[in-house]
Structure 1
């Protein structure tokens, strides 16, 4: 009895610091966001006015919020699909094919993940520069230089320019993760499939993907949620939501309203919507990607 009590106290003392930190820096601030969303407050004064759900009513009547919502959905869908498709393909090629310099390719692909957002933003801002940028310089070989493409200044294409930067930043990390998973797939399965006449593509979809699905499922949920945060960092550093709000996403729009326009209560209402959206999206992904475990 004493031994069990001693183990319980040991576990309690080990978990208590982490639990306290989680409550203080996660639970309490989250609750405070919900509370502040019910007030009209500039954020820098002591004047607070309780307005109930008025901030949410303003939110659902705002065209800028719907634009930020649309941009966020577009980034989540496009960046996730492109990143995971390329990461899986590259991981499969580097795992299954005998290529010279495999270690070199792994390092090259992984480098973007260790760079800070500021560095990535500077790199792509230079690439997208309308006058001396690498991308326009290349396009000028096939078309005139009189009308340069404004990659970060055109409302129609700015969000797609951010998609490219986000994919470039994330692809190497997930490629390395999937290579580690693919290394655990028995070689005998591929040999048997080859004897049965299955090609590389068939083996990829019938052997590799099913056997590493649990890893794909876990990384997919984390990636989608982290995309919401990463999109804000890149937008803030590269475009600051411009031109004319065309590249705004959830968190950049919240930041502008809360800290630039001094509408802190309204900004916290946006934060509540982001929290609920992220929570719902994680639940949907968890249900939609659930598959029976395959043992081998």
Structure 2
């Protein structure tokens, strides 16, 4: 009995520091954001005026905020679909097909993920440069005439951000799916081949169902991280106000001294990401297949 109590005390002492730090630096600030969203406060003013849901009422009628949320949703949908499509296709090819240098391709595809957003923004800014950027130069060579597309201006700015975000994320998820696909028994593919199933049919009927748990988990994390990554790419790549997303709108309001209004935007984004994650988990729920 004493040994059992001693073990429990040891476990409590192990998790107590992390629990206290999590409460101080995560729970308390989050609750404070909800509290501040109900007040009107200036940048350097210590006084607060309670406005209740006034900030949220104003926010839902703010055309700039609605546009920023539309951009956020667009990036989440398009970047997620394109990234996961190519990550699964590349993972399937490199896992099932006998290609020399598989480890080399893993490293090459994974490199963008270890680069900082600032470095990636610098690379793509050079690629998108109107005068002598690589993209316009290639299009000029193909078309036979000078092409001067302003990739980081309207209406191409969202497309440019999508390309950069997809390029950054594909390799990471490809490597994760390759690890899952490698665990699928080769005998399943051999049996299905005897029954006349081709590569595509095997992919949809064997590979996807058996790695679905991994896909579902990474999908939830990716959607949440896309909200943050979209903000980082917008801040690092494009001029202010050219393509706002939810988080950049929130920071712009904070910089303008509208702290309560900024916190209201943060609360809406928090609830949006929470509801979206719960919805994705609900929609992608499947029975776990075991072999």
Task: State the 4+ residue runs in structure 1 displaced beyond 3 angstroms.
Answer: none
RMSD in angstroms over aligned alpha carbons? 1.0
Q: Secondary structure at the match of 2:108?
A: helix
Q: Does 1:196 align with 2:195?
A: yes
Partner of 1:252: 248
5 Å matches for 1:74-93?
Answer: 74-93=74-93
Q: 1:172 to 1:214 in 2, by over 3 A?
A: same
Asked if 1:22 is matched to 2:36, the reply is no
- 1:133 to 2:103 alignment: no
Q: Cα–Cα, structure 1 residues 235 and 75, in superposed 2: closer, same or farther, change >3 Å?
A: same
What 5-or-longer segments of structure 1 have no aligned partner?
none
Contact 1:221 1:286 in 2 (8 A): yes
Q: For 1:41-52, what aligned pairs fall within 5 Å after superposition?
A: 41-52=41-52
**When the two structures are superposed, what TM-score results if normalisation uses the length of structure 1?**
0.96
Q: Does 1:144 align with 2:139?
A: no
* Contact 1:128–1:152 (Cα < 8 Å) also in 2: yes
The total of aligned residue pairs comes to 290
Q: What SS class does the counterpart of residue 290 from structure 2 fall into?
A: coil
Q: State the shift of 1:266 in Å.
A: 0.5
CA distance in 1, matches of 2:285, 2:227: 23
Alpha-carbon separation, structure 2, partners of 1:256 and 1:168: 27
Q: Partners of 2:173 and 2:102 in 1: how far apart?
A: 16
Moved more, 6-15 or 267-276: 6-15
Contiguous gaps of at least 5 residues in structure 2? none
| TM-score for the superposition, normalised by structure 2 | 0.97
In the TM superposition, residue 8 of structure 1 has moved relative to its aligned partner by 1.2
Taking a change above 3 Å as real, the CA distance of residues 202 and 7 of structure 1, as seen in their structure-2 partners, is: same
Q: What secondary structure is seen at the aligned counterpart in 2 of 1:140?
A: helix
